[in-house]
Amino acid sequence: MKRFIPVLLAVTLSGHAFSQTCPANVKRTTPASRYELQNSGAEVWDKQTDLVWQRCSLGQSWDGSTCAGAPTRHTWQQALEAATAAGGGWMLPDKRELQSLVERGCFNPAINITVFPNTLSSWYWSSSSVASYSEFAWFVGFYNGIDNYHYELKSHEHYVRLVRTRQ
């Protein structure tokens, strides 16, 4: 009989504590070895997808050891504009790209928090509109890693992580 032994990592973000749960008997899908830190640790190259990610959510900044500050929420249009304003080829990831960050062996949040520290267990926008409902866009919920559009109007506010192709 296999026992469920959760691995809990306590993290504090803006005064709110949460604990990532990673069952010990579940294989990790996004091990740290898949990534290479770049730009003094502020960016992460995903060797599997050949994409470069901002290590911190929009609104946070890399302080040399973690993502400091509070992530900011944006409407879908604001997220697209923030990506353009960031320059350097940064983009709002499409649904498939954002889903590639999901760590299926953990939840709360469902991401490798060693590589992407202080990621909220919340919804993050993708650039993908819903084909049959143009007023909605897809998001990935990093509580459990599920993508959905759940009638999420583009006017609602969610978190953002930017991506670019490798240069």
Contact 128, 95 (CB under 8 A): yes
1 part of a folded domain: no
120 part of a folded domain: yes
pLDDT of residue 150: 73
Domain count along the chain: 1
Contact 20, 9 (CB under 8 A): yes
* CATH code (residue 161): 3.10.100
72 part of a folded domain: yes
Range of the domain at 66: 6-165
Query: For the whole model, what pTM was predicted?
Result: 0.87
How many CA within 13 A on the CB side of residue 29?
A: 12
Residue 31 CA to residue 133 CA, distance in Å, equals 36
- Which pair of structure tokens corresponds to residue 120? 């909220």
pLDDT of residue 38: 97
129 part of a folded domain: yes
pLDDT tens, the chain, 167 aa long: 333 333 333 333 333 445 899 999 999 999 999 999 999 999 999 999 999 999 999 999 999 999 999 999 999 999 999 999 999 999 999 999 999 999 999 999 999 999 999 999 999 999 999 999 999 999 999 999 998 887 779 999 999 999 999 98
pLDDT of residue 18: 58
User: Closest Cα to residue 43, out of 104, 109, 89, 99?
Assistant: 89
